[in-house]
Structure 1
Amino acid sequence: MIRSKVALICSVVILGICMHLYFPFPNNVMLEARSTFMSFPIHNQDGLIPLGIIGSILFIIAMILFFIGMKKYRFRTIIIIVFAYAIYPIF
């Protein structure tokens, strides 16, 4: 079921970093965001947000590493992780 433990561990670490970058706080830049990607603000009234773009790229890299690390049930687990990542900050 696991093809590469290193890829899975790297994926989990990168996802943790992504969650930590833009955890919703009251004074967060998410309040003024015009466009977002998986809770990362990409664009606001002042222009592009470089940290949001970097966080989005890290999220995509983490999903690719997770896909590489799994041998079986790749699609199901990626869908579950994406839903969990989207729902987690609400709680």
Structure 2
Amino acid sequence: MIKNRFFLISSAILFCLSVVIYFIIPNERKLQPSTTVMNFPVQDHNGTFILGSIGAVVFIGCLILLASGLEKYRVRSVIGVMVVFAFLPGMLMTAYQETFASGVKAVSYDQEGECYFETVEEDVLKGECSFVLHNRSNEEVTFEVEFMDSFYFLENNHRMVSLMNLAGPYKFTMEANEKRSIHMTELLDVSDIPNPTDSGSSSGIQLKLIQSNGVQVHL
């Protein structure tokens, strides 16, 4: 089954390196890509992302060495590694948040938040947003929530979800290990906002959590 042990060891090393690279990529670059390769963001509204490109190359090298090092079951093994890599970072992040992380870095978000907007009168929108946050640490944490527009809206110089910030700041305090479902409804004055949406909805909304000491996380 094993054709070249050196290739397999090298593949394992590159796999670990690709996981490390994925972890050190800032969340905002993972959430706002226009192009991804093997889950690595390689391009966004700022242009080519070098670290993400390196990570993609390293992971592809891992797969090539894996296939080259095996005599049989090459396709199955490559697919298996790709599946593992798809889930492993999330599992490791959860473990990190529950053990070593503190403050907003220990707060997770399931990426399933939604926002709805409708015009109620001229230059006034009604915005409704719902999302779930989970403080995985054993300490209370206080932070502000800021709403972020997706890459599509940034690229087209158009605002939608970020309009909710007009009624902010939104400050929350979460108890240790608390999981909270948050729903908010606001009337938004968009008279001074260029290119606001007039109605619509957005799912998988992106959030920024900000602590008073300046620590921020993009979710």
Shorter-chain-normalised TM-score: which range? Answer: 0.7 to 0.9
Structure 1 residue 24: Cα displacement: 7.3
Letter in structure 1 aligned against 2:73: Y
How many residue pairs match? The answer is 90
Letter in structure 2 aligned against 1:63: L
Q: Is the 8 A contact 1:24 1:89 kept in 2?
A: no
Structure 1 residue 61: Cα displacement: 1.1
The alignment partner of 2:36 has SS state of strand
Unaligned segments of structure 2, at least 5 residues: 92-219
Q: Structure 1, residues 62-88: CA drift from partner, whole Å, max 9, x if none? A: 111000100111111111111111111
Structure 1 residue 37: Cα displacement: 1.9
C-alpha distance in structure 2 between counterparts of 1:87 and 1:30, whole Å: 15
Aligned to 1:62: 62
The alignment partner of 2:81 has SS state of helix
Aligned to 2:74: 74
C-alpha distance in structure 2 between counterparts of 1:81 and 1:31, whole Å: 23
Aligned to 2:199: none
Aligned to 1:88: 88
Q: Which runs of 4+ in 1 moved over 4 A?
A: none
Aligned to 1:12: 12
C-alpha distance in structure 2 between counterparts of 1:39 and 1:75, whole Å: 19
Higher-Rg structure is: 2
Q: Give me the identity figure in percent.
A: 33
For structure 1, which segment, 16-25 or 56-65, has the greater mean C-alpha deviation from structure 2 after superposition? 16-25
The alignment partner of 2:23 has SS state of coil
Aligned to 1:34: 34
**Which gives a bigger RCO, structure 1 or 2 (Cα 8 Å, sep 6+)?**
1
The alignment partner of 1:35 has SS state of strand
Q: Is the 8 A contact 1:42 1:48 kept in 2?
A: yes
The alignment partner of 1:22 has SS state of helix
Q: Structure 1, residues 3-49: CA drift from partner, whole Å, max 9, x if none? A: 11100000000011001101278x52213322222221111111010
Q: Is the 8 A contact 1:24 1:30 kept in 2?
A: no
C-alpha distance in structure 2 between counterparts of 1:53 and 1:71, whole Å: 29
Letter in structure 1 aligned against 2:60: I
Letter in structure 1 aligned against 2:87: I
C-alpha distance in structure 1 between counterparts of 2:38 and 2:19, whole Å: 10
Q: Is the 8 A contact 1:35 1:43 kept in 2?
A: yes
TM-score by length of 1: 0.87
Unaligned segments of structure 1, at least 5 residues: none
